[in-house]
Structure 1
Amino acid sequence: MTSSTDLSSSRRQPPSSPTPRSAVLRAKIWLALAMAGWGTIGVFSIQAGTDPITTVAWRCVFASGALLLLALATDAFRKSTWTVKAVLLTLGGGVALVANWVFLFQSFATTTLTVATVSYHMEPFLLVALGAVISRELPKRKDLIWLVVAFGGLLLATRFIGVDGIERLSPSQIGGVLSALLAGLLYALATLAAKHTTGIRPYVMTLIQCVTGALLLLPFSAQLQWSGTGWWWIAAMGVIHTGLLYSALYGSARVLSTMALAALSFVNPAVAIFADIAVYGHIPDLVQLAGIVLIAVATITITVPRKVKALD
Structure 2
Amino acid sequence: MMQPNNIGKLEMILAMMLSSTIGVFVYESGQVPLNAVFYRCLFGFMFLGFYAWVRGYLDASKVTGKEWLLMLVGGVTLVVNWCFLFTSFSFAPIGVTTVAYHTQPIFVLLIAALFLRERFEPHNWLWVLVAFSGVLMIVDPFSGGWSDNLILGIGSAIIAAVFYALTTLITQRLTHIKPHLIATVHLAIGTLMMATFAPIKEVPAAGDHWYWLLALGFLQTAVMYILLYGAFQKLETPMIAVLAYVYPVATVVVDYLVYDSAITPLMTLGMVAILFAGFAMNRSIRPLQWWKREQAY
TM-score bucket of the superposed structures, by smaller chain: 0.7 to 0.9
Give yes or no for the alignment of 1:94 onto 2:75: yes
2:70 and 2:171 in contact (8 A); partners too? yes
Q: 1:147, 1:264 → 2: CA distance? A: 21
- Code of the residue aligned with 2:255 in structure 1: it is D
Give yes or no for the alignment of 1:138 onto 2:115: no
2:100 and 2:271 in contact (8 A); partners too? no
Q: How many residues align?
A: 277
1:154 and 1:269 in contact (8 A); partners too? no
Normalising by structure 2, we get a TM-score of: 0.72
Structure 2 CA distance for partners of 1:140 and 1:281, relative to 1, 3 Å = same
For each residue in 1:57-108, what CA deviation from the matched residue of structure 2 results, as whole angstroms up to 9, or x when unmatched? 1111100111112212321123873122221111110011111111222233
Give yes or no for the alignment of 1:206 onto 2:183: yes
Q: 1:193, 1:177 → 2: CA distance? A: 25
Q: 1:50, 1:68 → 2: CA distance? A: 24
The residue that corresponds to 2:249 in the other structure is 270
For each residue in 1:222-260, what CA deviation from the matched residue of structure 2 results, as whole angstroms up to 9, or x when unmatched? 24435322122122221232224346379859x987x99
Q: 2:100, 2:125 → 1: CA distance? A: 18
The residue that corresponds to 1:168 in the other structure is 146
For each residue in 1:107-154, what CA deviation from the matched residue of structure 2 results, as whole angstroms up to 9, or x when unmatched? 333x32377446544433221111224553323344554565566567
Query: Which has the larger displacement, 297-306 or 222-231?
Result: 297-306
The residue that corresponds to 1:14 in the other structure is none
Q: 1:176, 1:290 → 2: CA distance? A: 18
Following TM superposition, by how much is the alpha carbon of 1:214 offset from its aligned partner in structure 2, in angstroms? Answer: 0.9
Give yes or no for the alignment of 1:56 onto 2:16: no
Task: Please point out which of 98, 104, 107 is paired with 1:126.
Answer: 107
For each residue in 1:160-186, what CA deviation from the matched residue of structure 2 results, as whole angstroms up to 9, or x when unmatched? 449x8486233x766555543432221
Q: 1:256, 1:137 → 2: CA distance? A: 22
Q: 2:241, 2:32 → 1: CA distance? A: 29
Task: Please point out which of 214, 217, 220 is paired with 1:238.
Answer: 217
After superposition, residues 35-74 of structure 1 pair within 5 angstroms as: 35-74=16-55
Following TM superposition, by how much is the alpha carbon of 1:206 offset from its aligned partner in structure 2, in angstroms? Answer: 0.9
Following TM superposition, by how much is the alpha carbon of 1:193 offset from its aligned partner in structure 2, in angstroms? Answer: 1.0
Structure 2 CA distance for partners of 1:202 and 1:99, relative to 1, 3 Å = same
- Code of the residue aligned with 1:169 in structure 2: it is S
Q: 1:139, 1:294 → 2: CA distance? A: 20
Structure 2 CA distance for partners of 1:145 and 1:270, relative to 1, 3 Å = farther
- Code of the residue aligned with 1:240 in structure 2: it is L
The residue that corresponds to 2:93 in the other structure is 113
Normalising by structure 1, we get a TM-score of: 0.69
- Alignment RMSD (CA, Å): 4.1
Q: 2:84, 2:73 → 1: CA distance? A: 17
- Give the % identical residues: 31
Unaligned runs of 5+ in 1: 1-17, 307-312
The residue that corresponds to 1:195 in the other structure is 172
Following TM superposition, by how much is the alpha carbon of 1:216 offset from its aligned partner in structure 2, in angstroms? Answer: 1.6
Structure 2 CA distance for partners of 1:63 and 1:267, relative to 1, 3 Å = same
Q: 1:85, 1:240 → 2: CA distance? A: 32
